[in-house]
Amino acid sequence: MWVAAIGLFVSSLISPQASDRSLPFSGSGWELRGDRTRIAKLDGRDVLEVETGFAHRPDLRFQDGSVDFDVQVTKRRSFVYAYFRVVADGEREEFYLRPHKSSLPDAVQYAPVWQDSSAWQLHHGPGGTAAVEFEPGAWTHVRIVVQGPRGALFINDMTKPVLLVPRFSREPQTGSIALGAFLPANVPGQGPIARFSNVTVRPGTVPFDLEAAVNAIPATPEAATSGVVRAWSVSQSLVPVDADTPSLPKAEVLGDFKRFEAEPDGLVQLDRYVRVPADRKISAALARVRVRAAQAGLYTFDLGFSDVAVVFVNGQPIFRGIGSYSFDRPRREGLIGFDNARLYLPLKAGNNDVAVLVSDTFGGWGLMGRFTNVTGLTIETP
């Protein structure tokens, strides 16, 4: 278990150092965004009160180190954010809390943000989400520790992280930080959903052995990864085809294809690579692989996608699936995984073109594929 492995590594208490930066909200430097975001006094503290909005420190340059703060949450359905390595509007890393999901497996979340789209549906389970109990109205201490490609989130107990991220999706970059919250429409209640105080940033101070903790995570068995598609050839962004008459988009619509490597678990985050026009609400792209089969037959293929996928084999549509988030009727989380769909691909002997048209509206745009048995198959990325 990850928790047991992480528990082997205990962080030490940090004494104040010259590099420590206390960032009081009463001081200058914080830029407030959102019409229900304000600085106030509470219990003798300078606090940031947020209903929907955030406070940004554009002057701060932070890449590795730690960020500490206290936060007060409510029972209302809400999302409480800490942004870090903010390199531009809509380009950052984030941890966030779901106080209304206290003690549930996704009470806290890690997500990268690309093109102003938080890819939370692509990051769940170990390394993406974790269970945490929140006490509404109490001051909760939070620490974020980041070093290179790794990071960890601590809540109250500063000796053991509640969430360990072995590999951030974004490359390490120096950026700023921000704190904020989001209140969905029609949530009952009044007043702030989050209050922040006592923000301290320690650039370069890493109070936890992240490398040792990550190395203690059990390796994925090779048998579980042998059939994973390791790279896809992907088109430019386009408008999805008509669901009633699916067909491959024309060459002039697809544009030039580019090869993109999958992450170790097989995920390709399309928001990372494919630029989407700012005025386009639905993004789509065609991803291809060439599969050479020793003999004709049906071959089992597990497909993960977010949010909608249409699969073509040698130009013919064989599958359309919907995995978008839906709050009700039907209830769907929209999380990506190899269990999203199992297909039986009708491959001919020789070369076959397998193409997936995947579109997204919310929560992360991604694709992953895996053959359950690669005997007689050769997978190539044109």
CATH 1.10.3470 fits 222-380, yes or no: no
Residues of the chain with pLDDT under 70: 1-19, 222-223, 241-243
Angstrom distance (rounded) from CA 98 to CA 107: 5
pLDDT value at position 15? Answer: 37
pLDDT value at position 9? Answer: 36
Three-state SS across the chain? CHHHHHCCCCCCCCCCCCCCEECCCCCCCCEEECCCEEEEEECCEEEEEECCEEEEEEEEEECCEEEEEEEEECCCCCEEEEEEEEEECCEEEEEEECHHHCCCCCCEEEEEEECCEECHHHCCCCCCEECCCCCCCCCEEEEEEEECCEEEEEECCCCCCCEEECCCCCCCCCEEEEEEEECCCCCCCCCCCEEEEEEEEEECCCCCCHHHHHHCCCCCCHHHCCCECCEEEECCCECCCCCCCCCCCCHHHHCCCEEEECCCCCCEEHHHHCCCCCCCCCEEEEEEEEEEECCCEEEEEEEEEECEEEEEECCEEEEEEECCCECCCCCECCCCCCCCEEEEEEECCEEEEEEEEEEECCCCCEEEEEECCCCCEEEECC
pLDDT value at position 243? Answer: 67
Following CA atoms 263, 327, 155, 174 in sequence, which dihedral angle do they give, to the nearest 10 degrees?
Answer: 40
pTM, to two decimals: 0.91
CATH number of this structure's domain 2-215, picked from the four choices 3.40.50.2300, 1.10.10.1590, 3.20.20.70, 2.60.120.560? 2.60.120.560
Over residues 200-257, the pLDDT tens digits come to 999 999 999 999 999 999 987 766 778 999 999 999 999 886 667 788 999 999 999 9
pLDDT value at position 330? Answer: 85
> Are the folds of 2-215 and 222-380 the same?
yes
Over residues 253-296, the pLDDT tens digits come to 999 999 999 999 999 999 999 999 988 878 899 999 999 999 99
pLDDT value at position 242? Answer: 66
For the chain, which residues make up each domain, given as ranges? Answer: 2-215, 222-380
